[in-house]
Amino acid sequence: MTSYEEVYAYLERRVDALKTDKSGDERSTLAEVFDAQTLMTIYDFMTSGVIEHIGFPISTGKEGNVFYAEDPDGEPMALKIFRTSTSTFKRINKYIEGDPRFGDIKGNRRKLIYAWTRKEYSNLNRYWDAGIPVPEPFAFKKNCLIMEYIGDENSPAPQLKNCVLEEPDETYDEVISFAIDGFRDARLVHGDLSEYNVLMFEGEPVLIDCGQAVTSDHFNAKEFLRRDIENVNRFFKNRGADIISVDVIMEEALSKDSDDE
């Protein structure tokens, strides 16, 4: 069994390596992401046989960073680490409030970030169980989430915004179904659906960054749903797709919701 000192020393070396050749702001962000408590959480994942290796950064988001990782068998995974900063706390609070799954969350900033991590894990499970293409969630603890890596051995899958679409109409239909089927089958509204939160992997879109998704009975659910549809329509209209009006899509989502009732 690897000792605590060996694992912790490895983590510190790994973080130092990630900081190499970074700008001052990037190094500051990494130092914020890999605070002492987060390193302890990763240590727990490593000693329990969940994570064996942490590799390159995949992305930097508004709430956290995603890193390539591997399990003890060398299989790729994605490790998402949510920052515990005040700015993150202020941004996510509106998506926690009013969610009946997290009505008991009150207290300090770190406790809310931990709830947010649990929320993204729960949302990914709901989307996954509903058959909506998202990274499969594997485990979470405190502010760390482990999920399926979307990409190949050379690089992570690109964001939709960076892709040339051979069949924009077909991709549009698939992405707009994330809003409709998400509302109907997963009982969720993503709340931040756009070309930034969809990856393209092997020609198919994959929905990501689901932490802010709220349940369909949330008091802002319909407002968030309309905003998601408007974002998707705006992007695909600029890519030459034949889009459907927001009202028609809203009606379809809500009528399917009524049929289920």
Q: Which residues participate in catalysis according to the annotation?
A: 192, 209
**Cα–Cα distance measured from residue 221 to residue 125, given in angstroms and rounded to the nearest whole number:** 19
**Three-state secondary structure call for residue 212:** coil
Encoded tokens for 37: 């408590």
How many CB atoms lie under 10 A from the CB of residue 17?
12
**Cα–Cα distance measured from residue 219 to residue 228, given in angstroms and rounded to the nearest whole number:** 16
Residue 257's nearest CA partner among 179, 200, 203 is 179
The string of DSSP codes covering 230-243 is HHHHHHHHHTT---
Q: What angle do CA 164, 229, 159 make, to 5 degrees?
A: 30
Query: Residue 233 contacts by C-beta under 8 Å, 6 or more apart in sequence?
Result: 176, 243, 244, 246
**Cα–Cα distance measured from residue 123 to residue 197, given in angstroms and rounded to the nearest whole number:** 14
Side chain identity at residue 45, one-letter code: F
CB 225 within 8 A of CB 253: yes
**Residue found by looking up tokens 């405190």 in the block:** 142
Encoded tokens for 130: 């509903």
What counts of helices (H) and strands (E) characterise the chain? 8, 9
